[in-house]
A and B are shown apart, each in its own frame.
Chain A
Amino acid sequence: MARKVTGRHVAISTVAAWLAGFVIFFPILWMVLASFKTELEAFATPPSFLFFHWTTENYVTVQERSDYLHHALNSLIIAGGSTLIAMLIAIPAAWSMAFSPTKRTKDILLWMLSTKMMPPVGVLVPIYLIYKNMGLLDTRSGLVFILCLGNLPIVIWMLFTYFKEIPKDILEAARMDGATIGRELIYVLTPMAIPGLASTMLLNLILAWNEAFWTLNLSTLNAAPLTTFIASYSSPEGLFWARLSAASTLAIAPILIIGWFSQKQLVRGLTFGAVK
């Protein structure tokens, strides 16, 4: 690192970058602030930035009036369940393609990718009708199933790119030593694959938690996750800004934290390994 970096250069870019970061982050900050205001203060002009009467009553109201925890639990079950099932199906598939590739592996991978590109509206009608006939509308299992299938291609792709990086020589060595496939899987492969597995799971959890096409169309109340619950604030109740902000803050907080931890893997996962 022999590049000259002047103090002035650092000062200017630091100020510019902090300013840009602040502007981009501001809507979230503003929402969090509003969640601690009273309804009147949230609505007031001119707005108060810090010197208002801080209160946590909105968080209590959100739970009491609309059973927030019920929807949070739905989100957790739907996002978590669909992620777990997707992993169970994807791990063997990605393992097989990464370590026993055939002539058709590349075609299969690209085909899987192409299923992700089908716009959901293209199949909205049949899925809705099938769900209606099978009594799956507004059920958690219905949503788990559809989100699992929807994200399966991304999960397989991410796992594949991670598995691909595990040196094959190690597997050969294990086989030479007489390890069976089962032992190879448990003692050699798993420890090396854990970082990849973890980041794939986290990314998929984020995608499933924030999914807002199928959840909005296929759930109303019983199975409604937080995306659908927040959407209910678009009705006249949306006039309760402080309450909307409190519910929103709770809804995004866990995923924001997970997201911040897995931001590096995000690029790789969402570009299907095209940018690393």
Chain B
Amino acid sequence: MATRQTQILARALLSPAVILLFIWMIVPLALTVYFSTLHYSLLDPGSERFVGLENFEYFLTDPAFLASLQNTLVLVGSVLLLTIGLGIPLAILLDQPVIGRNIIRLMVIAPFFVMPTVSALVWKNLLMHPVSGLFAWIATSLGMTPIDWFTNAPLLAVIFIVAWQWLPFATLILLTALQSLDEEQKEAAEMDGASALSRFIYLTVPHLARPITVVILIETIFLLTVFAEIFVTTGGGPGLQTTNIAFLVYSQALIQFDVGTASAGGLVAVVIANIVAFFLVRIVGRNLEA
């Protein structure tokens, strides 16, 4: 039984973490809110003045914002489609009786452990280079014209890189869920004469609904903030073609040194992330009751 003494102790043990996280969350965010109402440029020190919501107006009506919002949505959506669309068959495949499954699992999970700057540069140079890359060689060998990925389809190139990094995550989670599907249930369905297709539709798909939701939400949180892959491959270009919101805020802050507008943009990013987070917290929270 919890005595008064242990209660006090429990609180004392918890408080450092709570206090630190509280400061970490509130102080920078409050500063961002404060900066977002100022005209504040690092190139023009001393000129700070209160401008109300002008930065938001400037950020939201800037054509770069709409372009980057669109890029963000296309990036997140495509990567989700690719990772889940390929992750489901892959997980089902790995759930079959396969010789050497553990080794295949290691190969499939590996891209997730590669640091983003490495995967981006390896893909950009060794694979996607229009002249010496492996893809160019394959295309030429098949009698096709090699694609100049980062000139003609830069966003698609970034999407492929990011999808390659996140496919293992989706696959691993779906596989874990599949393996927890009751073997007896599958057997019973089989005994009752259910075909492989109907077993898939009525047993596997409903069982995967929850892990798929979890994959979507968690990937979305990370994909909204994709940064390093863009930073080392395209620098947001050509033009604004691969600038997402995270990169736009970065370039306004640390390239144009416009603190006010960057802060307004940062808050917009926080709002977008919060919409996703709202749903994730509800799902995880429901799990906590059980």
Contact = CB atoms under 8 A, between A and B. Distances in A.
Interface of A: 1-3, 5, 9-10, 13-14, 16-18, 20-22, 24-25, 27-28, 30-31, 34, 42-47, 89-90, 92-93, 95-97, 99-100, 102, 106, 108-110, 112-115, 117-130, 149, 152-153, 156, 181, 206, 209-210, 212-213, 216-217, 226-228, 230-231, 233-234, 238, 241, 244-245, 248, 251-252, 255-256, 258-260, 263, 266-267, 270-276
A28 B114 CA distance: 9
Interface in B259-290: 259, 262-263, 265-267, 269-270, 272-274, 276-277, 280-281, 283-285, 287-288
Nearest to A88: B16
Contacts of B100: 14, 18
Nearest to B270: A122
Interface string B106-126: 111111111111110111111
A123 B97 contact: no
A275 B250 contact: no
A273 B6 CA distance: 27
A209 B266 CA distance: 25
B99 interface: yes
B81 interface: no
Contacts of B31: 123, 125-126, 129-130
A22 B250 contact: no
Contacts of A213: 225, 227-228
Interface string B180-209: 100100110010000000000000000000
Contacts of A96: 9-11, 13-14
A251 B115 contact: yes
B131 A45 contact: yes
Contacts of A255: 113, 115
Given A24-B167, A117-B277, A122-B266, A92 B16 contact: yes
Secondary structure of the A contact surface, majority rule = helix
A106 to B, nearest CB: 6
Interface residues of B, number: 112
Contacts of A234: 117, 121, 124, 231-233
A99 to B, nearest CB: 7
B25 interface: yes
Contacts of B28: 122-123, 126-127, 130
Given A124-B262, A149-B20, A274 B111 contact: no
Nearest to B21: A115
A271 B115 contact: no
Contacts of A21: 103-105, 107-108
Given A123-B266, A149-B21, A14 B98 contact: yes
Interface string B68-102: 00000000000000000000001001101111110
Nearest to B252: A125
B253 interface: yes
Contacts of A102: 7, 10
B20 A152 contact: yes
A263 B109 contact: yes
